[in-house]
Amino acid sequence: MPIDIDTLRRYAVARTLFKPTTLPRAIDRLGFVQADPIRAPARAQDLTLRHRVRDYRAGDLERRYPRLDIEEDFFINYGFVPRAMHLLMHPRMPGSAWPKARRAQAAAVLDFVRERGVVHPREVDAHFQHGRARNWFGGSSRASTQLLDAMHYRGLLRVARREGGTRCYAARDSHPAAEDPERALDTLVDLLVCKYAPLPLPSLKYLIRLLASAAPQWAALRGAAQARARVRLAHAVVDGIDWYWPSGENPASRRHVPDDTVRLLAPFDPLVWDRRRFELLWGWAYRFEAYTPAPQRLRGYYALPLLWRDRVVGWGNLEQRDGRLQEEIGYVDGHAPGDAGYRQALADELGRIEQFLQPR
């Protein structure tokens, strides 16, 4: 069957919203779950996982994290990755070396963490009294917190657990670098493609560029990795645009049939994360507006894209008030779909979200 934009849209929905499974298996299949601290009505990682994990409740990932074979780490964004992938990106060697004073500071903190086992940032701050420092967005924060973040990124520390949402750190065991950097980088590229396929060529290039943060030690190898990816991936030209997906998958398969389900998706859900692809598949521009001044917002502080069957037809803003879920639903066309079953499907989705928000 010929591949057109409708084919790609059905394929994207079917492969991304796989049958709900266990939490470890869902994370392995996703490869990476982006994290965000905003709760509207829950964190992005929980909103993403609730579609893919049976009987998932908000906060399950944080509660179960110490017992799972995963790590908090930076990939193309900050989030949760299987430990095997985490090890692949380390030892991470940023391009700029620390000055001598910073290295000494980090060494002292590392000794302190090893002695304590697991530390809360306030313990480090109380012991060393590093004071405050300017942060990346122009404000100020505790210098100890910034140092712990930097040590975590460089692989000196790992997140052992969270307390009230705050990362608690332990020393990270060292591991040897990958013997074959090109093969390791190809593995990271394939993980990206598996998570976000089908991908238009500009998005594929952009994602591979983002790997400069995941594995800065291999930044010079990204161009060759992109060329290899374009050879091994399946490919088609649709409406003049090159699209790529894992070889062996068939976008035109008759299995990719949308069900009569409404889903409210996280702003960072794999189905909607790539804004370029979103506009190509659904014909309108979705933007994350939490950091946009309120008078300039078009759809709301934390608008969740609303998927009906294989169409993103609108968005929803959700809030819990006095223990009840309050929703505001908007539509791209200005009105709800007239399809039979839509309103009941929306009510079912809101009911699932209320259940998801109930304490375990």
Q: Which of 72-76, 129-133, 352-356 shows the lowest per-residue confidence on average (mean pLDDT)? A: 129-133
**pTM greater than the 0.75 cutoff:** yes
pLDDT in tens, 18-75: 999 999 999 999 999 999 999 999 999 999 999 999 999 999 999 999 999 999 999 9
Stronger pLDDT, 144 or 211, i.e. the higher one = 211
How far is the C-alpha of 221 from the C-alpha of 263, rounded, in Å?
A: 39
Task: Give Cα separations from 41 to 20, 35, 217, 263, 266 (angstroms).
Answer: 21, 14, 38, 15, 10
pLDDT tens-digit series, residues 243-284: 999 999 999 999 999 999 999 999 999 999 999 999 999 999
* pLDDT per residue as tens digits for the range 320-352: 888 889 999 999 999 999 999 999 999 999 999
Q: What pLDDT is attached to residue 360? A: 83
Axis crossing angle, helix 201-214 with helix 222-232, rounded to the nearest 10: 140
**Distance (Å) of CA 57 to CA 51, 65, 174, 268, 336:** 11, 14, 34, 18, 28
3-state secondary structure 130-149: CCEEECCCCCEEEHHHHHHH
Query: What does the alpha-carbon distance between residue 299 and residue 314 come to, in Å, rounded to a whole number?
Result: 9
From start to end of 116-191, where are the E strands? 132-134, 140-142, 157-163, 166-171
Residue of 283, 286, 281, 275 lying closest to 9 (CA atoms): 281
pLDDT at residue 246, rounded to an integer: 98
The pLDDT assigned to 140 comes to 52
Tokens of 15: 């492969």
- Mean pLDDT, rounded, for 300-314: 97
Q: Which domains does the chain have, with CATH numbers?
A: 100-171 (1.10.10), 262-357 (no CATH)
pLDDT digits (tens, 9 = 90+) for 141-182: 678 889 999 999 999 999 999 998 999 999 999 999 999 999
